[in-house]
Structure 1
Amino acid sequence: MSEEEVRSLVQSFLKALNTNDHDAALAMVSEDVAHDPFDGEREIGREKLGWRLGLRGRHFDERLADITVMNAPGGIRAAAEFTVRGTYRTTAEGLPEAAGQTYTLPGGMFFEIDGGEITRISEQRNPVQWWAALSATC
């Protein structure tokens, strides 16, 4: 893929996340996508990523803003930096009780692309700041 096509793919993926169009997001990843969530261990597979997106959507309302997409020459790797704006809606197992806590955090994702599909997504945000925001009382 060209560098512009990679940038467009990543932008489309992030747009799908922002509109909660999980089917569209999953259509852009490989069947055996490697997903490194910021809060857990690596998960392999489109089905597991779909499960994670659904679980996240049930407990959190998040939007990515101020998005900047960068990619390396060669069309294999890309990165996105953004601001995560979220609301903790329903209590998730192992997390503090949800009471509508809001948070704004810097975040990022790193991508690998192969054959026109996203083959790796590594998420980054500060889990200490995120936990503190979820622990705050409204």
Structure 2
Amino acid sequence: MDAKAVLKRYFDAFNSGDKAGMLAELSDDVAHHVNEGQIRVGKDLFSQFCDHMDRCYRETLTDIVIFGNDDGTRASAEFVVNGEYLATDEGLPEAKGQKYVLPAGSFMSLKDGKISRVTTYYNLADWVRQVSA
């Protein structure tokens, strides 16, 4: 299995706003480790997270570099998040359409050709600084 190809399809779907395409690359019991949040298990909770993100943010990923191990069980990507803050997210600064550019990375585990773990990291303090400026 080519883990890098799975991640490429996943990130292409993200950039196309194709939530169904993203979900198609996930295992049913995917563990979603959210930056500054709780672990969510399962496609339903991942889908709900995507809906929330789509309501509050408009994001496109650029400069994506994908890495993968030889046996296809682990992969990661480094990228730049280019976003717009659309609606105030609970506990965060007020949204006024602020734009932001933020380096980030995702780390993934795969089993049976599907993503079974998604862990994404970015610098929340940098994001808060950008949207508060």
Tell me the TM-score range normalised by the shorter chain.
over 0.9
> In the TM superposition, what is the alpha-carbon distance from 1:53 to its structure 2 partner?
0.6
**2:69 counterpart letter in structure 1:** A
> Which residue pairs with 2:117 in the alignment?
120
Paired with 1:18 and 1:57, the residues of 2 have a C-alpha distance of 12
Paired with 2:36 and 2:128, the residues of 1 have a C-alpha distance of 10
TM-score, with structure 1 as normaliser: 0.93
Instruction: Percent identity, please.
Output: 36
> In the TM superposition, what is the alpha-carbon distance from 1:84 to its structure 2 partner?
0.5
Alignment of 1:109 with 2:106, yes or no, is: yes
**1:28 counterpart letter in structure 2:** E
Structure 2: gaps of 5 or more residues: none
Structure 1: gaps of 5 or more residues: none
Paired with 2:100 and 2:36, the residues of 1 have a C-alpha distance of 16
**1:71 counterpart letter in structure 2:** G
Among 71, 74, 80, the alignment partner of 1:74 is 71
> Which residue pairs with 2:24 in the alignment?
27
> Which residue pairs with 1:39 in the alignment?
36
Alignment of 1:89 with 2:86, yes or no, is: yes
TM-score, with structure 2 as normaliser: 0.96
Alignment root-mean-square deviation, CA = 0.9
Total equivalences in the alignment = 133
Q: Secondary structure at the match of 2:54?
A: helix
